Structure 1
Amino acid sequence: MPSPEAHAKIAVAAQPRVNVRPAVNVLFFGDVVGGVATDQIIFNLAKMRDQHRVDIVIVNAENCAPTGLGMTTKQVEALLDAGVDLITGGNHSWDSPDSVDALANPKVIRPLNLCDGVPGRGIAWLDHAGETVTVLNLADACAMKSVRATAGKFRPAYSAWREADRRGTVIVDYHGDHVLEKQIFARAVDGQAAAVLGTHTHEATRALHILPGGTALVSDVGMTGPDGGVQGFAYDGFVAGLTTVGDPFAPPLPSPLDGPIVLGAVLLEIEAGRTTRIQRITEWPPA
C-alpha cells in the first residue's frame, strides 16, 4: 500500500493565461481486477463523482472480467452505465472470448502503438464544457510481449504519440512494466500532455509528480482489486507452478482472491491543459 505521504495533494500554482479553457477534474482508476472490484466501483461511483466533484471518469478495466483476465461486454457495459466515461486497457484487453465485441465499443480503447489489423482503437476524444479531452492508451514492449493478438504488430509508443490526433487536454494511460520508460516518456511530452498515468504493475508508486510544463506523472496508479494476494489473484497456484515445474504461470491460472477491495485511483485537477493538483484516492466513500 502507498505510504500516507502519497495521499497528500501536490499543487502547482496555475500561471495566468488568456482564453482560459474550462477546468476539468478527472478521476482515473488503475487496473481493476475481477468482478467484485468492478461491482465495488459501480456501487460507489456516483458518490465518488459528487464527493470529489468529478467531471470525467476513466477506468483501466483490462482485468475486469470475473476471471480477472480480459474484459467482457457485460462488465464493460455495466461500468459505462454506472457513469464511467472511458475504459482503457493493456496486454489483457484481448483475453476474453468476447473481447472483440467489447473493444468495438467507442468508449473502450486499448494500446494505440500497434499496427493495423488489431481489434480496437487506441485513442478517444471526450467533451467537457465544449473542451476536447484526448485520451491515449500506450504500452511498452515488455507488457505486450506475450500477447498473441498483437504478435509482430507492436510499434514504439513515442512514434504513435507523434502521429496521434491530439486535441485540447491530453491524458495518457501508459501501460508498462518499466518505470524508467514511463518517466522518460513523460519528460518528452511535458507541456504537451496533462498527465501520463502508469498502469500494469498493480503496485502503486509513492511519488506523485507535476513536471515543469504541467504534466502530471504517476509511474503506476496501482490496482483496484482484492488485497493480500499476487496482483489481486490467489497466490497458491503461482507458488505451486514455481516450486513444481519452475514456471509460476503454468496452468491452471488462479482466480481473483477473495479479499477486501483496495482502491487505486488518482484525482487530477486540470486547467488549460495542465495539471494543477493531483492526489491519490485510496478510500471508498462512507456507507
Structure 2
Amino acid sequence: MRILFIGDVVGRAGRAILSSELPKLRAAFALDLVIVNGENAAGGFGITESICQEFLDAGADCVTLGNHAFDQREALVFIERQPRLIRPANYPKGAPGRGANLIETRTGARALVVNLLGRVFLDAMDDPFAAIERELDACPLGLGCDAAVIDFHAEATSEKQAFGWFVDGRASLVVGTHTHAPTADARILPAGTAYMSDAGMTGDYDSVIGMEKDEPVRRFTTKLPAGRFEPASGPATLCGVAVETNAQGLAVRVAPVRIGGKLAPARPDFWG
C-alpha cells in the first residue's frame, strides 16, 4: 500500500498548496491512502466543516486533529456526522466524535487511522499508550486491517520516540505532528513500523510555526500580547511523509515529502 501523510495544514496558505498539489500527487503516484492533519486549518486554530470537506474533495481519505480539535465550536457538532474526521482517541469519555476509524481505501483495502495526544507540555489527556493498546487490540494489523497509521500529536520528541518503540511491529506508520518543523529521522524501526518524529507543517515557513512573525517575537521579547496570532500568508511548503507497505502491512520504504515554499524539496524516489 502507498500511504501519504501530510502534516499540520496552517491557515489559508496551507490550504492553498494542499488543494493545488494533492490531486496531482494522488494521480502521479497512485496513492492508496492519504491522511491530512487539519487541526490548524481554520485561521491557525481548529477546523470547520467546509474546510474538512475541501480536504476530502482534494483527495484526502481522512483528516486528523490534535489539541486545537475543537477551537472552532462548530466542530463539536459536525464531527459527529463526519466519520472521516478523527480527533484524539485519548480525549476523556464523552467527547464528541471518534478517535479512530477503519477507512476503506479506493482499492478496497482497510486502513486503521488513530489520532492521539501526547501528555508532556500539553493539557493532560488520558494515557495515549493505554488508548493505543485498546485500538490495536480491537483491530490488529494484518487481521482487522491492512494498514495502521497513528498520528501522535505531541510536543516532546522523547514521548514520540517512546511511543514509536511501544507499537513497533503493530503499526504501519507512527508519525508525529504538532511542532510544525519536519524532522530528519524518517526510518523503519526493527519490527517494521515506519517512524518520523514530526511531519512538519503545510504552511508558510517565513513565520513562527506558521504565524506572522511580529506577534510571537513581541511576546517572547516583552512577555506582553499586543494582538492576535495570524497565520502567515506567503508561499507555503507541503510537508509530510510517504510510506510503502508490504502484504503484512509493515513498512518497507519511508521518505519525507516537501513541496514548494521555502524548504529544500524532497520526494520519495521509490515512487518514481
Is TM (by shorter chain) over 0.5? yes
Residue aligned with 2:151, SS: strand
Q: 1:4 maps to what in 2?
A: none
Shift in Å at residue 58 of structure 1?
A: 0.3
Q: 2:194 maps to what in 1?
A: 216
CA contact (8 A) 2:180 2:199 kept: yes
Shift in Å at residue 251 of structure 1?
A: 6.0
Q: 2:32 maps to what in 1?
A: 55
CA distance in structure 1 between the partners assigned to 2:200 and 2:93 by the alignment: 30
TM-score, normalization by structure 2: 0.87
Is residue 169 of structure 2 the alignment partner of residue 191 of structure 1?
yes
Question: After superposition, what is the alpha-carbon deviation per residue over 1:193-224, rounded to whole angstroms, capped at 9, x for unaligned?
Answer: 11100000001111111011110010001010
Residue aligned with 1:259, SS: coil
| Aligned CA distance change for structure 1 residues 102 and 261 (closer, same or farther; 3 Å) | farther
CA distance in structure 1 between the partners assigned to 2:192 and 2:12 by the alignment: 35
Residue identity in the other structure for 1:98: E
**Which structure would you say has the larger Rg?**
1
Q: 1:160 maps to what in 2?
A: 131
CA distance in structure 1 between the partners assigned to 2:33 and 2:110 by the alignment: 12
Q: 1:131 maps to what in 2?
A: 109
CA contact (8 A) 1:262 1:282 kept: yes
Q: 1:118 maps to what in 2?
A: 95
Alignment of 1:64-213 (within 5 A): 64-65=41-42, 67-104=43-80, 105-128=82-105, 129-142=107-120, 144-145=122-123, 154-164=125-135, 165-166=138-139, 167-168=144-145, 169-213=147-191
Identity among equivalent positions (%) equals 36
Residue identity in the other structure for 1:115: P
Is residue 234 of structure 2 the alignment partner of residue 259 of structure 1?
yes
CA distance in structure 2 between the partners assigned to 1:101 and 1:252 by the alignment: 29
Runs of 4+ in 1 over 6 A off after TM superposition: none
| Aligned CA distance change for structure 1 residues 142 and 182 (closer, same or farther; 3 Å) | same
Residue identity in the other structure for 1:156: D
In structure 1, stretches of 5+ residues that fail to align are: 1-23, 146-151
Residue aligned with 1:225, SS: coil
* Higher mean C-alpha displacement, 87-96 vs 127-136: 127-136
* Higher mean C-alpha displacement, 193-202 vs 260-269: 260-269
| Aligned CA distance change for structure 1 residues 251 and 55 (closer, same or farther; 3 Å) | farther
Matched residue pairs, number? Answer: 251
| Aligned CA distance change for structure 1 residues 84 and 251 (closer, same or farther; 3 Å) | farther
Residue aligned with 1:137, SS: strand
Question: After superposition, what is the alpha-carbon deviation per residue over 1:95-131, rounded to whole angstroms, capped at 9, x for unaligned?
Answer: 1131213422111001101221112210011124443
CA distance in structure 1 between the partners assigned to 2:227 and 2:73 by the alignment: 17
Q: 2:206 maps to what in 1?
A: 228
Residue identity in the other structure for 2:161: Q
Residue aligned with 2:26, SS: helix
| Aligned CA distance change for structure 1 residues 43 and 98 (closer, same or farther; 3 Å) | same
CA contact (8 A) 2:183 2:196 kept: yes
Question: After superposition, what is the alpha-carbon deviation per residue over 1:154-207, rounded to whole angstroms, capped at 9, x for unaligned?
Answer: 211011011113232211000001111111111111110111000000011111
Shift in Å at residue 281 of structure 1?
A: 1.4
CA contact (8 A) 1:73 1:101 kept: no
CA distance in structure 2 between the partners assigned to 1:48 and 1:85 by the alignment: 13
Q: 2:269 maps to what in 1?
A: none
What is the RMSD of the two structures over their aligned residues, measured on CA atoms?
1.7
TM-score, normalization by structure 1: 0.83
Which structure is richer in relative contact order (CA contacts within 8 A, separation 6 or more)?
1
Q: 1:43 maps to what in 2?
A: 20
Residue identity in the other structure for 1:253: R
